Structure 1
Amino acid sequence: MTVKILSSTSTFKGVSYNTNKMQSGKGELMKFKNFGYLQSAQKVSPAEMKTFLKVHSNRNTRVQTKQFHAMISCKEREYNKKELTKMAEKWLEKMGYGNNPFLIVFHGDTKNNHVHMVSSRIGKDGKKINDSMERIRAQKCMLEIMERNPAQECRKILDQLKSFSFSTLNQAKLY
């Protein structure tokens, strides 16, 4: 499972990218949350989404690049769109974006199923959401969601290795 933080902009280009994918049949809107009055609308245009995100983000004028755009990708078709969407929601919550307006769009047009998440870097309180060590935290949050502990997994493999006897280092590497 891979998490990638994509470029941050002031114009919410991530909305356009994902809605273009949806309009061409290569993407599907899986989640549209915390968009206030737009939540009850029958059909919401990309321009309305962008406007809402810009107005929400204008609570803090010091931050120039207000768009948060990230992607979660799995190996080939390991997870389906619903599973990826649930993971993305949990991940956004852990990263501090759960209360913000966000959209999650599934893309199945590549070799690997993946979802894109677009939100604002400005919280409802007008403060910038913490982006310190963001890329490292992103990976740690994903490992937590997947209930994986790489250090523990490594120790387990090393313990298994200790139970064998090897004549050379290359023999151990083959294991």
Structure 2
Amino acid sequence: MLAEVPPHARTALDVGTGDGLLAADLRGRVPHVVGLDVDAGVLTRARDADPHVAWVRGDVMAAPFAPASFDVVASIATLHHLPDTAEGLRRLADLTAPGGVLVVVGLARSTGIRDLPWEVAAVAQHQVLRRTRTYWEHTAPTSWDRPPSYDEVRAAAREALPGVRWRRLALWRYALVWSRGA
């Protein structure tokens, strides 16, 4: 994610900031960072990550940010919690300034035979990681709504973000990178 930050970036928004780790990392590259989350408790804990980040409680779909406010809009594991994937992506794109970038890492579900090799690899990788790594759990409350499928996310992204770059990642994840023209 940090590799996608444009060198001219001065403002960034971390949507669904949770413990604030991404917002704190963005603050190392971008002077003005806003961490947005719906949960007040998690934001209280996130303040420990970086006191220079503006921590804001709210829903990205209704947050009172002006269009094109941020040179970087970033989100990890949040998009699948929004009611409509395409509408969520349009909102994130609307907040992205000309010349800025939108970067989303999300979760999706497998649905067909084409997904089977990825599913087998994800289960195997998860088992290896579970046995060889320590387990870290973020403090953000979670609700596990059924995430959209990879095909649904890809279609919504192509519709909402012309020219989006899509990449499937390990462990049921994907990455979207979209640059807003100047």
Give your verdict on TM over 0.5. no
TM-score normalised by length of structure 1: 0.28
**Structure with the largest fraction of strand:** 2
Larger RCO (CA under 8 A, 6+ residues apart): 1
**Structure with the largest fraction of helix:** 1
